[in-house]
Amino acid sequence: MIRLDDLGLFERTAALGSFSNAAREADLLPGQVSAAIQRLERELDVRLFARSTRSLRLTAEGEQYLPYAREVLAVLREGRERLRGEEDALQGLLQIAVPSDLGRNVLLPWLTDFREAHPKLSLRLFFSDQLADVFRDPVDIAIRYGVAESASYVVLPLAEENRRVLVAAPEYLARHGRPRSLDDLAAHHCLLYALGGRVYDKWVFPVRGEKKQIAVSGSLVCDDADVARRWAVDGRGIAYKSWIDVCADVRAGRLEVLLPEQRGEAAPLNLVCPHRKQFFPAIRRLHAALKERVDALMDRLPA
């Protein structure tokens, strides 16, 4: 008979890529995880992993079996949560991946307040601008800009109308002047962002129903969106940021919106999770709590 604990260790080993990582996450010894996988393989009469001294990878049979293991584990967890009831279900561990800037400066106090309102719930937060995979990474949900392309995900909107805005500090504008058109950006110090080795030096704007690309340049490049915002506040150049990321700085006078008549690129904010997890009470309640807070920020978005 297949043990559920063995099934869970198989799923986490596949996601993390090694017995050692799965053991560390489960507070077990690597040998215990290896033994669990061997028991599961004997029950199924197949090899789930191809092992060598340097690598561990799923076999073809393991790749085929993994979605079924995930589905079984998700169904059992959902049933457990339903039996506990809506209120009692807000306990256990909820693991959330968030973008660096948004996470540190906007979401962190909201998530902390949510945890305080539900003392039986534990949160584990992962701050990164890299897109988390809610199947492979040890997270339950990801909060991210843009729309998930995979049909395996469900997207719960938080700010569908959010968009990017051009911003700069009053100090920068006093020294270098204010751009009067999109084309003027080429003559300014622009703060560039890099992700996955790609530098985003072509900023996109909707103009008369089409996308207009503006090539920009600057001597400051970072792979952390929070750093770009900090540089902008420090008067180092012009940033092209999500309104949600910079609205507090704009309201406080640390940044000014440039070319307010020009709409920026759409940057919808969503909560992303596997389809079945959207029914977990903790996720539904968190989505509702965050959306209420985000709606208040969107009311101040420049027209």
What CATH number should be reported for the domain whose range is 92-161+268-298? 3.40.190.10
92-161+268-298 and 164-258: identical CATH topology:
yes
The pLDDT assigned to 123 comes to 92
What are the average pLDDT values for consecutive 10-residue runs of the chain, which has 303 residues?
89 87 87 92 91 85 89 77 59 88 93 93 87 65 77 82 96 96 96 89 93 95 93 97 95 96 94 73 90 90 76
Q: Where are the domains of the chain?
A: 4-84, 92-161+268-298, 164-258
Q: Can you give the pLDDT at residue 38?
A: 93
The DSSP output letter for 279 is G
Q: What is the pLDDT of residue 238?
A: 98
Query: b/e map of 129-142 (b: 16 or more CB within 10 Å)?
Result: bebbebbebbbbbb
CB atoms under 10 Å from CB of 120, counted, come to 12
3-state secondary structure of 157: strand
Query: Span 4-84: which CATH code?
Result: 1.10.10.10
pLDDT of residue 83: 63
Q: What's the pLDDT at 51?
A: 85
**What is the CATH architecture of 164-258?**
3-Layer(aba) Sandwich (3.40)
166 neighbors 258 (Cβ within 8 angstroms): yes
By residue count, the chain amounts to 303
State how far the alpha carbon of 149 is from the alpha carbons of 71, 158, 269, 272, in Å.
20, 17, 14, 11
Burial of 5 (0-12, 13-18, 19+ CB in 10 A): middle
